[in-house]
Amino acid sequence: MSSDPYDLLATTILLLDRDGVAVQANSAAENLFGKSRRQIEGQMAIALFEQDAALAQSILHACEGTLESCRQIAKVQHQASSREVSVTTVSLLGQPWAALIEVADLESRLIVDRTQRIAEQIQVQHDLLRNLAHEVKNPLGGLRGAAQLLEAELPDRRLTEYTQVIISEADRLQSLVDRLAAPQARPMQIDTVNVHEICERVCALVQAEFGVQVARDYDASMPDIQADSARLVQALLNVVRNAAQVLEQAQTADPMITIRTRIARQVLLQRRQHRMVVEVAVIDNGPGVALDIQDKVFHPLVTRREGGTGLGLSLAQDLLQQHGGLIEMESSPGRTEFKLMIPLEPS
Ligand SMILES: Nc1ncnc2c1ncn2[C@@H]1O[C@H](COP(=O)(O)OP(=O)(O)OP(=O)(O)O)[C@@H](O)[C@H]1O
Ligand SMILES: [Mg+2]
């Protein structure tokens, strides 16, 4: 479709001739069907969907002008899996095209809406916790200082055992408070960033700390993005470290982490339609996120790991939000995927 406005739509549009051949497609169609416009145009429209007799009938009748419009659910192959879509077929009488097909991807919209809601809740919780952390910071400093003074005055050295407990627990709280305040600690510093350099940095850090293999599946055509690289390293590191920790703890046979980069087009993120979004997926073959916390892994203080604070993912989500992006999670035993989505241009 030559006119650009169609290419801004998240909805897939196909224009058909009288024989049911797709003569024009917009850029959302390329993304949905995983084919270039050149591959789509000239093909029978029905062949783009999984076999569906009812849909074939509707398209045929719409092209002949014997059906005005019809809406039905169909399936398309999308990245090696089957995806439900809503298809509206409209007959176009007296126009250069015989019919129009509009395809809306039901699943991605539902996932994005749900993730969006969760991200917003987390934002509220995080703000609350951050205020609390701020309030705790000062008395904590006073507490630690007083324990040190007390220790110096103690008549019996054996009593220092107690002041040491106060000091070390105060330090533990201090680091928790610092992590809570971290995302806002310094102003955003936006630069031109190479996504794969960030991935490599995180791989090096994780491989040095854990014995796990990290496989790379990079999209070589990945453009540079405008982002705060330290924040992205932190976010990705939090996600990859989790995977490494889970694999180690569960003693998974042949533990494997894969970092996959891709470009997605026409994605709705934080209520904005983005032309291009960079996706960095972290996939592991561990036991999966515990069922009882699947809905709240991104919430602060949610953890199933011994010694975990439950802040890693909520911080990562926060850092992505600061870039106008989002993290999604899909997990089942044997395959867990965390997908970091970053708009090409910061919002
Ligand atoms: N790849 C994964 N596979 C299985 N479970 C995971 C995975 N990533 C995260 N989780 C679960 O989600 C929980 C929350 O993760 P998060 O990073 O927020 O906190 P944490 O790792 O427990 O502590 P922290 O990161 O603050 O040290 C983890 O405790 C773990 O149970
Ligand atoms: Mg963690």
**Residue 201's CATH number:** 3.30.565.10
Same domain assignment for residues 249 and 282: yes
Q: Which of 344, 340, 343 is nearest to 115 (CA)?
A: 340
What pLDDT is attached to residue 129? 80
The CB of 310 under 6 Å from ligand 1? The reply is yes
Distance 304 CA to ligand 1 centre (A): 7
Its domain, for residue 235, covers 191-343
CA of 154 to the centre of ligand 1 (A): 42
Distances (CA, A) of 298 to 259, 292, 302, 313: 20, 13, 8, 5
Ligand 1 center to 268 CA (angstroms):
26
Atom 12 of ligand 1, residue of closest alpha carbon: 297
C-alpha of residue 277 to centroid of ligand 2, in Å: 25
Question: Which residue reads 């705060």 in tokens?
Answer: 228
> Does 221 share its domain with 294?
yes
Given this model, what pLDDT does residue 279 score?
96
Q: Check whether residue 202 and residue 337 sit in a common domain.
A: yes
Q: What pLDDT is recorded for position 146? A: 93
Q: By alpha-carbon position, which residue is closest to atom 14 of ligand 1?
A: 303
**DSSP state, 158?**
G
Q: What is the pLDDT of residue 1?
A: 45
Is 238 touching ligand 1 by the criterion CB < 6 Å? Answer: yes
Q: What is the pTM of this model?
A: 0.67
Whole-number pLDDT of residue 177: 83
Residue whose Cα lies nearest atom 28 of ligand 1: it is 303
**Ligand 1 contacts CB of residue 303 (under 6 A):** yes
3-state secondary structure of 236: helix
Ligand 1 closest atom vs CA 338 = 1
Spell out the residues 6+ positions from residue 24 whose beta carbon is closer than 8 angstroms to its own: 1, 14, 15, 41, 97
Q: Which of 79, 109, 139 is the last residue of a domain?
A: 109
Q: Which residues share a beta bridge with 217?
A: 260
Residues 67 and 133 in one domain: no
Give the DSSP per-residue string, 86-128.
EEEEEE-TTSSSSEEEEEEEHHHHHHHHHHHHHHHHHHHHHHH
Q: Which residues of the chain have pLDDT under 70?
A: 1-4, 107-115, 182-185, 271, 346-347
Number of neighbours of residue 145 by Cβ within 10 angstroms: 12
Domain stops at, among 170, 185, 200? 185
* 40 and 146 assigned to the same domain: no
Separation CA 320–CA 233 (nearest Å): 11
Shared domain for 336 and 198, answered yes or no, is yes
